[in-house]
Structures are given as structure tokens and as C-alpha cells.
A and B are shown apart, each in its own frame.
Chain A
């Protein structure tokens, strides 16, 4: 091979994920209590698993329709109507994907022309920026601020828009901050979005996991449905990360374009997972509610424990992440996370991997057993006390 590199410039220039680096550090150590995990601690409810077994026994081992089994799309459509007052035609406005991850990728590839700008609201899920780049777009990040509870304001949005802006990715509730945009806040953003004729990719994968307020799905805001691709999936609320199943719903034009890419690049989402998801949609409510109650309790627990430990942490409205400030320790996010890992064997994710405005914060997932969470909180407290003593002796 004579070329210096065969790797595309696009990929070569992509920054490796900060999560990955931290994973490598933590994975080498024994007895780590991990609050670094972005997935449920629950195993998939048994009835979903059992339904998948059954489908395999029945011989459902072949491809499904490109957009996913129509039975599943019907159920997704029903689910969205029942829970979020949204109407999507299952025949051409819903696509079943390989995780929400693939739905995001499909949506971006379906709409981006080279040079189009896509707004990403940081701190954010780590995949948005690279996925926009890989689709040929230019990510434009907005840094939300702690004093606004890490919520995007209409003014910030207005400032980030240029003539090249085509779309914005909204994640509600947000990973990693857990912040939840309420109806009035979404309506304010919708005005700016309407004014500038933007398309919205609304990642609502944590929608079910909201604890205090009524959840509003973005496309249910007046006039927004026609310009929104709703993205969700089974990973979080249904505890199905490993099944790799998600979906998108939106106007026919968008979904058709996504199906076009999907049929060539993926054919269809895994069949056995679609059968499990069908059961999740039909008979999963009880399990989801039980998990929700448990997350809510652990959220209350971690928020009060972190505040007691001296790390300021407001109560997040959704998802399963707490995002406390570590600024009083005088350490950077990365230093804090690394020292905590080495000294106390607790893994958290430094906030800056989710964007510049995450600096000064750490992401703690509370999808961890109460016993582990309790132990992790004592260790964090001990770490902060030691750090304080060191600071005052300097």
C-alpha cells in the first residue's frame, strides 16, 4: 500500500469520543462502581424477552419490511397517539430503526446537503456532532448555561441561526444534564424555529422518564409537526439497549427519504428485536411505570446525597442523569473524574466530553442499584472532603 493513509479525511478528522477514553481508563480497574453508564440497570422485562423467544420458535428469522413490521408500526403509532396526542400514519410516517442512533443518522443524511448547518445544543449526547459531520453538514453548537438549568433559550437560538441553518437537534429530556424543556419553553423555541423555517430533529428517547411535570412532545406544539422528525426508541424506558431498536415518526416526505437510505444500507431492523418491541408496546406499560418509580426515587436520593457531599446539584426533570457542579473543588471535570476513579474507584463522566459548557460538571448516572449508589455517594463525599482539606492547606 503506497498511500500514506486510506482513511477518508472526514473520518480521520473526527475526534475520538471522550467517553471512549474514559471507558479505557475505567475498564482496566477492578471493583469500580460505575455511575458512567448511559443505559438502564434493569434487564429487559421478561415478557418482552419471552415474546422474542416465541417468535424465533415460530421461525420469524427472516427480513421484515424495510420500514419495520406493520404490526409494530401500528403499535408505535397507537402509542404516540395515546401518550403524546400525536397522529402518525403507520403505513408511511413511521420507520423502525436500529436504535435511535440509526434514526438520527438516517434523518440527518436524508436532509443534509454539503455545507448545511445543523444546530446542536450542548452539553449534548456525544453522537450528534460527528453524525452531522458524517452526513456532510456543519455542526453549529450552542452552549447552554447552568443558570438557565442548561435549557436552550430563544435568544441563544436566534443568535446561532445563519442563512445556512437547515435544522436543529433538540434532545428532551437531555442527556447528559437531565434538564427538561416544558411546554411554554418549547413554544418559545417554536416561534424562532417557525420564523427561520428550520427543520427539527426531536430526540425524545427519554420522554417516558420524566418525573415531576407533564411531558410535552415537540411535534405536539402547534404547527411543529410538519417540520419535525420525532426520534425515539426502546433502549431507555423499556430497558432494551442491546436489542438495538428505535424508531422515527414524521411527515411522509421525510420518512420516505429515510426509508430510501435504510433499504440500501440496513434493509431492516433486527426481526427478533421487533417482536420483543411489539410486546413492549402492547404490554409494557406496567414495567415502564415500575422502572420509572425506581428511577425517580434514586434521582431524589442522588441529588440530596450530592448536595450533602458539597457538590451543587439541581434536581433534573428527566432521563437518569444527575449533572452536579464540581467547580468548588478547583479541579477540571477531567481531573475530578480521573482522580475520583483512581482514589475512590468511582467512575463518572467528565462533563466536557458533552461539549464545552459541560466543563465544571460531571455526569452521574443513577441507573445503578441503590446499594451501589449509596456506596458511591459515600466515596464521593470522602473524596470531596479530602480535596477541600488539600485546598485549604495550600
Chain B
């Protein structure tokens, strides 16, 4: 059961678009079994959602701006970093928040239409929080690989000869 779950999750982690019928064939199971398993994994929140990886630059004239912000915070008694993290991750422009080991505490990824917009978020919302001690902002200049996917793979074509022993 566990193995089946892992196999299924690995398949749809790579391609959330894979039809149930195909998953069933690949795993050698019936479609009903796969549907049930997916339902089960959704219910226990192992599957949290199905998103699409998009290269917005291919569609919009200007790509959104992404910033990764290193945030130092003063943890609060009893709740540690969780409370301040929540204050931050509730903002819709915040796309990711991680608690980090090392020189700073929270790594916050923010997306905005312009650098100005992100600057505004940092100065108005983030750095004004009581427990935030300091922020260091890094803007992303170019994305090479995201979530395991290489964005501009020049030539992924099959380089094999068509028939071989």
C-alpha cells in the first residue's frame, strides 16, 4: 500500500496532468483502485493541490519579479517562529516561507509585478512587524531550473538512431 502510494505520488509529482486511466495502466492497477487511492491521498492531505509550472515570460511581455528575502526575527516565547511566520505567509504576495538554519531565520519568497511593488511590501508590511529584526532582499535575475524542471533545455530531442539491435 505504502509502495503504491509512493509510486503514484512520484508519477503525479512529475505530471499532475496524467489521466487516471494512464496511471492505472502504468501501475498495472484498475482505474477504480487509482481513483480511490488519489481520493485517500487528497483526504489525508498528502496531495495538497495540483498546480502548473508556467514560464510566464513566454506569455506576458514582462515577467513578474521574484525576490527572496532573508529575514531575521526575534522568536516569541511559547510559539517560537511559528507566529511570526504565519503573520508573513498569510500575505498573498508571499509564495513561500521556510524556517532556515544559519545566518538568518526565515526565507521568504515574494512575487510582485514590479520591483517597486515588492519594495513597498517589504518596507510597509514586512520590516514593520515587531518581531522582524532585519531583512536582506535578493531579486531573482534569471531562472535556470525550478522545482526540478530545467526551463530552457535547448534540445531535448531524441538523439538515438531510429532502429538498433
Instruction: Give, as a whole number of angstroms, the nearest-CB distance from B14 to chain A.
Output: 10
CB distance from A105 to the nearest CB of B (A): 14
Bound together, the chains give a CA A37 to CA B163 distance in angstroms of: 5
Contact B165 A127 (CB under 8 A): yes
In the complex, what's the smallest C-beta–C-beta distance from A87 to chain B, in angstroms?
Answer: 32
Q: Contact between B158 and A23 (Cβ–Cβ < 8 Å)?
A: no
Q: Mark B1-40, 1 if CB is under 8 A from A, else 0.
A: 0000001001100000000001001111000000000000
Near A by CB (< 8 A), chain B positions 16-67 give 22, 25-28
Contact with A along B139-165 (1 / 0, CB 8 A): 000000000000000000010111111
**A27 interface residue (CB < 8 Å to B):** yes
For B27, what are the chain A residues with a Cβ–Cβ distance below 8 Å?
297, 300
Among A125, A298, A305, the residue within 8 A (CB) of B165 is A125
Which size bracket describes the interface of B in this complex?
Answer: 10 to 19
Given A300-B27, A374-B22, A19-B164 contact (CB < 8 Å):
yes
Docked-complex contact A126 and B163, CB < 8 angstroms: no
Q: Is the CB of A39 within 8 A of B164?
A: yes
Q: Does A238 contact B (CB under 8 A)?
A: no
Residues A349 and B7 in contact in the complex (CB < 8 Å), given A297-B26, A301-B26, A370-B22? no
CB-based nearest A residue for B29: A300
A301 x B162 contact (CB < 8 A): no
Is A34's beta carbon under 8 Å from chain B? yes
Interface residues on chain A, number (Cβ under 8 Å): 28
Cβ B25 vs Cβ A305 within 8 A: yes
- A293 touches B (CB below 8 Å): yes
What B residues does A370 contact at CB under 8 A? 22, 26
Within 8 A of B (CB), among A1-27: 17, 19, 22-23, 26-27
Closest residue to B6 on the A side, CB-wise?
A: A293
B25–A17 CB distance below 8 A? no
Q: How far is the CB of A267 from chain B (nearest CB, A)?
A: 25
Question: B10: which A residues are within 8 A, CB to CB?
Answer: 293
User: Which chain B residues lie closer than 8 Å to A126 at the CB level?
Assistant: 165
Asked whether A139 is an interface residue with its Cβ less than 8 Å from the other chain, the reply is: no
A298 to B120, CA, bound (A): 50
A34→B25 contact, CB < 8 A: no
Q: A17-B165, A36-B163, A347-B162 provided; 20 other pairs, C-beta below 8 A?
A: A19-B163, A23-B164, A34-B160, A34-B162, A34-B163, A36-B164, A37-B161, A37-B164, A38-B164, A41-B160, A125-B165, A293-B7, A297-B27, A300-B25, A301-B22, A304-B25, A304-B28, A305-B25, A349-B163, A370-B26
- Which residues of A are interface residues toward B (Cβ below 8 A)? 17, 19, 22-23, 26-27, 32, 34, 36-39, 41, 125-127, 175, 293, 297-298, 300-301, 304-305, 347, 349, 370, 374
A/B interface sample: 14 pairs, CB < 8 A:
A19-B164, A19-B165, A23-B162, A23-B163, A26-B163, A27-B161, A37-B161, A41-B160, A297-B11, A297-B26, A301-B22, A301-B25, A301-B26, A304-B28
List chain B positions with a Cβ less than 8 A from chain A. Answer: 7, 10-11, 22, 25-28, 158, 160-165
Q: Which 8 A-B pairs have the closest CB atoms?
A: A36-B163, A297-B26, A23-B163, A300-B28, A34-B162, A26-B162, A38-B164, A301-B25
